[in-house]
Amino acid sequence: MEGRGIRIEPMAVGWGALVGMVGLAATSGADLWLRTLVIIVAFLIGGFLSGVRTLDHRLATAVAVWVVGWLMWAAIVVVLFIANWFGGPAEPEFAPGSDGAAILIALGSLVAALLGALAADRRYSGRTARRRY
């Protein structure tokens, strides 16, 4: 994906988003505190993995990981909602908790993805911060 001169590697986004989405899916129906913790950790790992996979623009890649991870989860919820119409299992809750808690958890997962990308950047980049961003 290219936009405004920033090259984001689709493979890095895909792997990171998959890890984040698995955190969302694996905890569907779990207690709020457990689901929150797993989602945050999953996006932290996803952001780190995307940062390891890409060479530049790690923060932009982490934002893409967050967006794509939540969109993948939304697609699964929609498919299960349609399956429920035909007698399948009930669809999972899209976001944990109340509307306010869900927004905080979503923002927390974004911060976690960014922190993961920054950790990868610190670990795998020898350049100065001025030249990276």
pLDDT of amino acid 44: 97
**Residue 85 burial class via C-beta count within 10 angstroms: exposed 0-12, middle 13-18, buried 19 and up:** exposed
Residue 130 lies in a domain: no
Distance CA 108, CA 60 (A): 16
pLDDT tens, position by position, 3-20: 466 678 889 999 999 999
pLDDT of amino acid 57: 85
pLDDT tens, position by position, 89-116: 777 777 777 778 889 999 999 999 999 9
The domain tally of the chain equals 1
Residue 83 lies in a domain: yes
Between the alpha carbon of residue 88 and those of residues 3, 41, 77, 84, 94, the distances in Å are 41, 30, 13, 4, 17
Residue 104 lies in a domain: yes
Residue 126 lies in a domain: no
pLDDT band at 69 (very low <50, low <70, confident <90, very high): very high
Instruction: Tell me the H-state helices in 54-127.
Output: 58-85, 99-124
Q: Which residues form the domain of 46?
A: 7-121
